[in-house]
Chains A and B, each alone.
Chain A
């Protein structure tokens, strides 16, 4: 098939047909509903911003992921945000500068990320929360519990929350006295959980032996929360930063146990990836049916200060598309109910197609809509034989035929099979 060049979409951009759009909208609505029930107030951030303002929060990797262009009216460089958190940070530091907090904000929006490797961009619908003004493990646990609850609400109650701490690997690598390029290589090997490769790099480390041994363990220190006790036992003395990070994780686990979250906990001390602004705990939600995390978040106590207001904060975002993908993948195996309940209007509140002389048909439709039903009036396009097929195609579960006679009561209502 030849698509005329004038009608192509840029790589990575796409449309969602009604069913897919309804599923995604349904998921986003459920997520925002949960966020709002937990006291988070919804905000909407702009489609693009000045690049230098976004860059304050994004750091080098985030900047590289942003699509930039010159705003014609000002000649300034603007960028589509690859991540909404810096926008919220700016919002909190400016609009809510004098608000004592804590601030609970949530959002739903689209981010666009360049993927250098795929020579393409990706449009991601996200729904997320930011909790600003609450420092420490209690805030972390609160937000993680909300994330688990939100996933459960869309039908992904069998999630695994992986907990890590970005400060940990940072402390370890800094204490080792590695040259800067070796540090980057070491980080890469930890990210790949490549123990042998990491040990190779650690040969140039100048730090104490116990520390080097601990560093070499980082890729393998993952498993149930009891891993933390093990790690604390192995953590070398004289490294308060490392112990503090591990204790911080333990406190989060303890806080979470008070909350009985609908997810399993997995601790992963080799987690070194993430946006540049993360400072402490880092967490992801994994579910069957999705090859990567559907939820990702963490603590970023330094981010708001970059925008002029020093304030601790923690948050996460859920990838709505990845969530829909996981639900679709799981659907044939018994979770079908989860997805089927999602598209509003498609199921349950089934639509009505009204056919007949315009004036009467309009009156019938208006009445139905007032009752909260979905109703469309045929404008005379459909031949008799087409009506049922059309109704099925667009999920109208009922066809109302208003007769030409004035007797309104004699109208026929047919169920669409």
Chain B
């Protein structure tokens, strides 16, 4: 994504600031910290977009990072906040896990599964205290994903209380807070450590590119180009 060569990056640094960078043809990308960011770095590199300034900015604790060569800027945010940035147009595109996107069910386009940040969203319970769904009258599920859990239980016809937690989900069944949990699992090691076993997978998770409705209409060429580059990089990888 080359910007017009006549623009000196130093002079135009201000272009990358402010709420309406889009007007100047700059694509704003919301990226979550952590594992997705590391894997996105590799994928974007293969697509010809150098995200290394993001690495440097992270060390300096800067959260808005211009990518002058690519005509983009990156916002480094919490993973669960990515969809809000994109829905409200503060970012034009973002990368978020399927878990986050389905939990929030926001009005976004999701043109590409990036295949990064892979894991599974599962239901788990203590190995030594399996739940008998038919016999229980009052089940409690602890999770970071109450909406997905509610929909899942509704589809199964299970009536249960859902307790929203923000972390350390796996201890909830061990201390009597919940009968089951709904949580992300990659290797399954954490579950085993806490003597939990998987009951079922709700869905496999990977990170997706999400695009705001207005961005898709107002800068279609830039967005289409980004999607095309990333899909080529995915196909080649």
- Which of B20, B212, B213, B217 is A289 in contact with, Cβ under 8 Å? B20
- Residues of B close to A292: CB separation below 8 A: 107, 213-214
Question: Does B220 contact A222, Cβ atoms closer than 8 Å?
Answer: yes
- Residues of A close to B110: CB separation below 8 A: 192-194, 197
A interface, over-half SS = mixed
B interface, over-half SS = mixed
- Residues of A close to B218: CB separation below 8 A: 160, 286-288
- Residues of A close to B107: CB separation below 8 A: 292
Question: Does B211 contact A193, Cβ atoms closer than 8 Å?
Answer: yes
Q: How far is the CA of A410 from the CA of B187 in the complex (A)?
A: 90
| A268 at the binding interface (Cβ < 8 Å) | yes
| A147 at the binding interface (Cβ < 8 Å) | no
Number of B residues near A (Cβ < 8 Å) is 25
- Residues of B close to A193: CB separation below 8 A: 109-111, 211, 216
| B198 at the binding interface (Cβ < 8 Å) | no
Q: Which of A274-320 contact B (CB under 8 A)?
A: 284, 286-293
- Residues of B close to A291: CB separation below 8 A: 87-89, 212-214
- Residues of B close to A195: CB separation below 8 A: 111-112
| A333 at the binding interface (Cβ < 8 Å) | yes
Q: How far is the CA of A295 from the CA of B143 in the complex (A)?
A: 39
Tell me the total A-B contact number using a CB cutoff of 8 A.
63
- Which of B87, B109, B217 is A266 in contact with, Cβ under 8 Å? B217
0/1 string, A177-192, CB within 8 A of B gives 1: 0000000000000001
Known: A223-B224, A291-B87, A291-B212. A329 touches B217 (CB 8 A): no
| A26 at the binding interface (Cβ < 8 Å) | no
- Residues of B close to A329: CB separation below 8 A: 19-20
Q: How far is the CA of A112 from the CA of B224 in the complex (A)?
A: 35
Q: How far is the CA of A377 from the CA of B212 in the complex (A)?
A: 51
Q: How far is the CA of A160 from the CA of B23 in the complex (A)?
A: 13
0/1 string, B68-89, CB within 8 A of A gives 1: 0000000000000000000111
- Residues of A close to B112: CB separation below 8 A: 195-196
| A128 at the binding interface (Cβ < 8 Å) | no
Q: Which of A206-226 contact B (CB under 8 A)?
A: 219-220, 222-223
Q: How far is the CA of A194 from the CA of B101 in the complex (A)?
A: 13
Q: How far is the CA of A220 from the CA of B124 in the complex (A)?
A: 38
Question: Does B22 contact A268, Cβ atoms closer than 8 Å?
Answer: no
Question: Can you list 19 pairs linking A and B with CB atoms under 8 Å apart?
Answer: A192-B110, A193-B110, A194-B109, A197-B110, A197-B113, A223-B224, A266-B220, A286-B218, A287-B218, A288-B20, A288-B23, A288-B218, A290-B214, A291-B89, A291-B212, A291-B214, A292-B214, A329-B19, A333-B23
The 4 A-B residue pairs whose C-beta atoms are closest, nearest first, are A291-B89, A193-B109, A286-B217, A192-B110
Add 7 more A-B contacts to A292-B107, A293-B213 (CB < 8 A). Answer: A162-B217, A195-B111, A196-B113, A197-B110, A197-B113, A223-B220, A329-B19
**Interface, chain A (partner B; CB < 8 A):** 117, 160, 162, 192-197, 219-220, 222-223, 266, 268, 284, 286-293, 329-330, 333
